[in-house]
Structures are given as C-alpha cells and as structure tokens.
C-alpha cells in the first residue's frame, strides 16, 4: 500500500518523545477521502494493516526495541515454558523407566492421570488468564510456576494411583493459566506482524522440552542411587522450576512502557508503536471488563477456529506426551528410547521458527498453518504404512511428523490476536483458545498401551482428524475473506465523516467495526 502523507506524519511522530500516545491514537483514527479509499481497498483485498516502520530512524528504533525484548523477555518466558513442558511430559519419560510397575499400578493409570490432568488444565484456562490479567500477569505467572514446580517434585513420592491422579489434577490447575497468560502478555509487547515469530520462539520451548526431556531422562536414568531413576527425574525438574519461578515477578516487566531495561525514550516509543498497531491498545495493560468477557464469548471467529485448533493440537498436545513410548515400540530400550526422541523435536522446533518467520514476513496465516498440517499428514501416512520392522523408515516418518507438529498452534494464536484489537477481549479470546488443549484428552485416550508396539489405530485416527483440521482452517479463511468483502461494500457507501465516526465511537465494538480488516 502506498504510504499517505498522514501515515508518514503519524509514523514520524511515533518516535518523538514529546508526542503523547493519546495524540498518536487521535491522529490514527482520523479519516479523509484518501484514507477512506485505502480502507475500502484493504477490506476488499483482505489486507490487514499493522504497524510497520517506514523511515530509516523508525526502523532503527523498531529493531533496537525488538532486540531488547527478544533478549530480556522472550528467552526468560521460553525458559519457564521449557520447564512447563518438561513437567507435563516427564510422566511419559518416567514410564519408560518402569514408573507404574515400581509403584504397583497398572500402565493404564498413566493414561488416566494424563487425561484427568487435561480435565482441569483445559476448562480453567479462560478463568486463569482472566485472573492473571486482573491480578497482574507477572506476579500471577510467578505464583502458578512455583505451584506446579512443587507438585512436580511431589511425583517422586507417589505411592499409589489415587495420589498420582490427585497430583495430576492439581498440576493441571496450576499450569492452566501459564500459556494463555504469556501469549496475551507478549501480544502487548510486539506489533501483530512481529508476533508470530516471537510466539514461535516461546512455543518452541515446548517442543525443545521434548528433546531436552529425553536428554535429561537419558542422563538421570544412568544414576545408580538409593532412589529409582524416575524419582530423580521428578526431583531435579521440580526443583529447577521452583528456583526459576522465584525470579519471574522481578525479571519480567509489567508492560512495555515499564520495562526496567529500556531507556526513557524507548519506553515512550514502546507504548506508541502498540497504539499505531491498534489504536484500541491505548492505556490497556490493566483493562479487562465484563464487556470484554461477553464479547469474547459471542465472538464467532473464535468458535469457527477453535474446533480445528483442537484437532490440529492432537499432535503436539496428545501424541507427543506418549512419543517416548511410540519410539520405544520400535525396539529401543527405555533410556535409548528417550535419547532417540531428541532429533525429531529439534527438527520440529527449527521448522516452527521458519514457518512463523515466514508467516510474519508475508503477513499470512492460513497457508502456513495448512502447509504445516500437510507435513504432519505426510509423516503420519509414512508412519502408518511403513512396516514396524523397517525401523529406519518408520523413524523417518516420525521425524517428518514432528517437523510439522508444533507449527499450527502458535500461528493460530498470532492470527486470533491480530484479529482481536481490543486487549481485554483479546486476553479472554486467547484464554478460550487454550481449549485447544482438549486434544490432550483425546491423545491420552488414543495412545493406550494396548495398541503397542505399532500404535496403528491411534495413528490412523490422528491422521483423519488432522485432515479434517486442515480443511476446517481453509474454511475459516474463506469465511473471513467474505466478511471483509461485505464490510468493503458497506464502507463504500459511507462518507469519510461516517467512517471516522465508526472508528471512534460507533455502536460496533473492536473487530466488529466496519473499518477493521480481518487478517488471513
């Protein structure tokens, strides 16, 4: 899109400290004849616009600011999420070291405990992320991380099935608010077309957790001490989580303009660029009202996206928990089964980052999600059709499967965040989107020990559901494009004054405004 004089004026003022965020927002919402024509074209072609630096000075400021957030915020959030992933998946690692037989419970109890974990983890996510927004996101993250660290350590002293189920239920409560709270938090720091890459770096920690968890388990299971290897695993990972949780409220800034590692000028610019990305972001870091909750519950684009996110998440949330057992089915020993899980997870993480970067660069979400799901489909077909005796070929299928497994979830989050400009509503939307973790319940009921060693039935069901998800995402793309074109026809009949009124005070809220373009 050609840059108008007004846009240049607004972008130039964004980097001037004396210009307030309120003034930038007011200028951004003004509409003249030229802007009216641009808006109609954006709607007609479904071209969502976000803040992109234009001048050389802006680009330097933008890059420097992103670099600081990338250095201080993303790695720390990713590190905590790494231990979140470890603390969730270590039950599968422990099972390869005879966890269930050592405490005298059936192997199916591990599946039951995992399923019940998701029964508390999933439904509580919208509630937890809302509490976090109200209570203070950084403090909330510290409290829940400390809680699940203590609970993880407690696994080492489980004596029966009832205790295991109780701990997994509680750890589900503790972990429920972490992922949606962090993605909502990050959405307040990065403009929409820088967000998917950052969520990918953060979410990549979950996939790395699979590899790192396998390495840790491999090493820990070599310990010859008075405890079982799986007990050392829970103690070490739980203790590390507890230590890390204590630093969260002191390290993570409460808002972009309050970051302890930014200069005074950078704090001002950090606030202004989020206003430019979406004027609704103004002064919103603590804003979440009842209207946000009601509007989120009525949001049609969430409900037409969520089912496909659930199905797509069967691979990362369900299958990967039992991935060490599937690899063990190829004939590897318990310790080596964990070690052999490392390469697929590393490859999956690299593919995730590459897809997310491309998605941000090209301002496109659907094709990247569907492309990733096609990779998963190819991997599943290979894993299903290659005989179990062909260990190398079947393992290659698993590598390809995991190459696409982790991509859809973070890009879906960035897609929903970019299409929900009001931060309060966005927080609730991302919390409800966390119900994609219902896939964990499906996975825990699919990958039962009775299907070992080839797990043919679970893999075939997963293949069918991933295919349905791919088709569903394509359908969401079509619907959003049609809605944008419908908005374009209505905007074409409006005067610049009417469009400006729609921007600033019309009866429609957030993305329902006729002037808002849904990204595809």
3-state SS of 119-140 is HHHCCCHHHHHHHHHHHCHHHH
pLDDT at 479: 96
Q: Which CATH architecture has domain 67-254+298-481?
A: Up-down Bundle (1.20)
Question: Is it the case that residue 167 has pLDDT exceeding 90?
Answer: yes
What average pLDDT does range 468-477 have in this prediction?
A: 97
pTM: 0.82
Question: Is it the case that residue 42 has pLDDT exceeding 50?
Answer: yes
Q: Categorize the per-residue pLDDT at 399 as very low, low, confident or very high, splitting at 50, 70 and 90.
A: confident
pLDDT at 307: 95
> What φ, ψ does residue 494 adopt, rounded to 5°?
-105, 150
The CA distance from 452 to 64, in Å, is 51
Query: Is the separation of the CB atoms in 437 and 122 below 8 Å?
Result: yes
pLDDT at 91: 84
Q: Categorize the per-residue pLDDT at 414 as very low, low, confident or very high, splitting at 50, 70 and 90.
A: very high
- Per mean pLDDT, which range of 65-69, 319-323, 401-405, 429-433 is the poorest? 319-323
The CA distance from 214 to 220, in Å, is 10
pLDDT at 359: 95
User: CA angle 340-344-347, nearest 5°?
Assistant: 140
Closest CA to 440 of 122, 209, 204: 122
Q: Categorize the per-residue pLDDT at 292 as very low, low, confident or very high, splitting at 50, 70 and 90.
A: confident
What's the distance, CA 58 to chain centroid? 29
Most confident segment among 159-173, 390-404, 451-465: 159-173
Reading the block at residue 366, the tokens are: 């659907």
> What φ, ψ does residue 191 adopt, rounded to 5°?
-60, 160
pLDDT at 3: 46
The CA distance from 337 to 330, in Å, is 9
pLDDT at 300: 94
What average pLDDT does range 395-421 have in this prediction?
A: 90
State the Rg of the chain over Cα.
24
Question: Is it the case that residue 56 has pLDDT exceeding 90?
Answer: no
pLDDT at 142: 95
Number of other residues whose CB lies within 10 A of the CB of residue 192: 24
Question: Is it the case that residue 281 has pLDDT exceeding 50?
Answer: no
- Per mean pLDDT, which range of 60-64, 249-253, 337-341, 347-351 is the poorest? 337-341
What average pLDDT does range 183-204 have in this prediction?
A: 89
What average pLDDT does range 378-392 have in this prediction?
A: 87
- Per mean pLDDT, which range of 25-29, 33-37, 336-340 is the poorest? 25-29
The CA distance from 217 to 451, in Å, is 24
Q: Please classify residue 466 by burial: count the beta carbons closer than 10 Å to its beta carbon, then call 0-12 exposed, 13-18 middle and 19+ buried.
A: buried
pLDDT at 510: 78
Q: Categorize the per-residue pLDDT at 46 as very low, low, confident or very high, splitting at 50, 70 and 90.
A: confident
Q: What single-letter DSSP state applies at residue 364?
A: -
- Per mean pLDDT, which range of 152-161, 220-229, 301-310, 366-375 is the poorest? 220-229
Query: Is the separation of the CB atoms in 454 and 388 below 8 Å?
Result: yes
Residue 176: left if φ>0, alpha if ψ -120 to 50, beta else—which one?
Answer: alpha
What average pLDDT does range 406-420 have in this prediction?
A: 92
What average pLDDT does range 120-146 have in this prediction?
A: 88
């Amino acid at each position: 899109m050609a840059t108008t004089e007004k846009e240049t004026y607004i972008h130039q003022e964004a980097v001037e400290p004396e210009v307030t965020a309120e003034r930038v927002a007011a200028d951004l919402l003004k509409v003249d004849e030229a802007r009216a024509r641009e808006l109609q074209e954006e709607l007609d072609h479904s071209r969502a616009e976000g803040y992109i630096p234009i001048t050389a000075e802006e680009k330097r400021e933008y890059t420097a600011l992103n670099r600081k957030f990338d250095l201080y915020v993303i790695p720390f959030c990713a590190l905590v999420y790494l231990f979140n992933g470890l603390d969730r998946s270590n039950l599968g690692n422990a099972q390869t070291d005879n966890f269930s037989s050592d405490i005298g419970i059936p192997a199916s109890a591990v599946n039951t405990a995992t399923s019940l974990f998701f029964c508390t983890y999933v439904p509580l996510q919208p509630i937890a992320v809302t509490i976090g927004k109200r209570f203070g996101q950084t403090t909330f993250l510290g409290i829940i991380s400390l809680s699940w660290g203590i609970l993880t350590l407690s696994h080492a002293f489980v004596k029966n099935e009832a205790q295991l189920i109780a701990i997994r239920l509680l750890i589900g409560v503790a972990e429920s608010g972490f992922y949606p709270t962090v993605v909502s938090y990050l959405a307040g720091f990065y403009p929409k077309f820088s967000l998917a890459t950052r969520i990918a770096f953060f979410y990549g920690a979950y996939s790395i957790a699979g590899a790192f968890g396998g390495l840790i388990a491999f090493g820990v299971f070599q310990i010859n001490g008075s405890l079982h290897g799986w007990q050392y695993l829970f103690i070490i990972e739980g203790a590390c989580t507890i230590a890390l949780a204590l630093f969260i409220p002191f390290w993570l800034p409460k808002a972009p303009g309050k970051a302890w590692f930014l200069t005074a000028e950078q704090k001002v610019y950090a606030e202004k660029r989020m206003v430019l990305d979406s004027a609704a972001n103004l002064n919103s870091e603590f804003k979440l009202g009842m209207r946000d909750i009601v509007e989120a519950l009525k949001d049609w684009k969430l409900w037409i996206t969520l089912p496909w996110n659930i199905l797509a998440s069967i691979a990362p949330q369900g299958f990967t928990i039992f991935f060490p057992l599937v690899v063990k089915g190829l004939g590897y020993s318990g310790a080596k089964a964990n070690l052999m899980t490392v390469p697929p997870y590393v490859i999956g993480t690299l593919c995730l980052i590459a897809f997310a970067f491309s998605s941000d660069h090209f301002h496109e979400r659907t094709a990247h999600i569907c492309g990733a799901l096609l990779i998963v489909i190819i991997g599943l077909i290979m894993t299903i059709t290659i005989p179990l005796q062909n260990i190398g070929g079947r393992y290659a299928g698993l590598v390809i499967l995991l190459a696409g497994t982790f991509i859809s979830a973070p890009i879906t989050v960035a897609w929903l965040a970019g299409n929900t400009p009001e931060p309060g509503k966005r927080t609730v939307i991302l919390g409800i989107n966390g119900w994609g973790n219902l896939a964990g319940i499906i996975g825990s009921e699919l990958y039962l020990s009775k299907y070992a060693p080839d797990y043919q039935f679970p893999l075939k069901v997963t293949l069918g559901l991933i295919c349905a998800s791919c088709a569903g995402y394509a359908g969401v793309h079509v619907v959003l494009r049609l809605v944008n074109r419908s908005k374009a026809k209505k905007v074409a009949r409006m005067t610049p004054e009417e469009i400006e009124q729609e921007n600033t005070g019309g009866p429609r809220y957030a993305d329902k405004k006729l002037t808002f373009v849904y990204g595809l």
